[in-house]
Amino acid sequence: MLTQHSQVSFYTELYTRIPEDNTLRIIQDHLDFSFINNLLKNSYSLYYGRPSKEPEMMVKLLILKKF
Domain extent listing, the chain: 12-66
pLDDT at residue 4, rounded to an integer: 54
49: left (phi over 0), alpha (psi -120 to 50) or beta: left
Reported as a pLDDT band with limits 50, 70 and 90, residue 6 is low
Q: How confident is the model at residue 7 (pLDDT cuts 50, 70, 90)?
A: low
Q: What is the pLDDT of residues 27-44, one digit of tens each?
A: 888 989 889 888 888 888
3: pLDDT strictly greater than 70: no
